[in-house]
Amino acid sequence: MTLQPEPAWEGDPFDHRLLLEMAHELGPIANKGDHVRLSDHASALLEAFVRHAEAERPAVLRLSPFTARLIENGQQRVVDRLVSLVLEADLAEEPCKCAALADEVASLLEVQIVSEEWDQSDR
């Protein structure tokens, strides 16, 4: 079993700007039909987002139970769509839903980040 070295993330795991930049790069990659690169990029975003969610968890748990549940459900939706995108890119079957999934991931991530930042500023 080969272990991959832990990637060094630039910036704070709370860096929403970096996550958005990564998400917005998915669409152009998907439109080019570069499934290998799309899978790699979506996997990197998935790992970065999971690290982000883990780092943010203590702050989310300080929110009201209802709000915390909304944030966690939104994070899970982003993870689910990213996993779907990685699998779709790995399969590289026609017709490919990669472009639509990439756009959906970017949109979900934008909504999630707006929600997180609004909930964080509400304290």
Q: Please report the pLDDT score of residue 121 as a whole number.
A: 55
C-alpha 98/C-alpha 30 separation (Å) is: 6
Residue 44 and residue 85 in contact, taking contact as beta carbons nearer than 8 Å: no
Chain-centre distance of CA 12, in angstroms? Answer: 15
Point out the residues of the chain with pLDDT beneath 70: 1-14, 119-123
Q: Please report the pLDDT score of residue 99 as a whole number.
A: 96
Report the predicted TM-score, pTM, of the whole model to 2 decimal places. 0.84
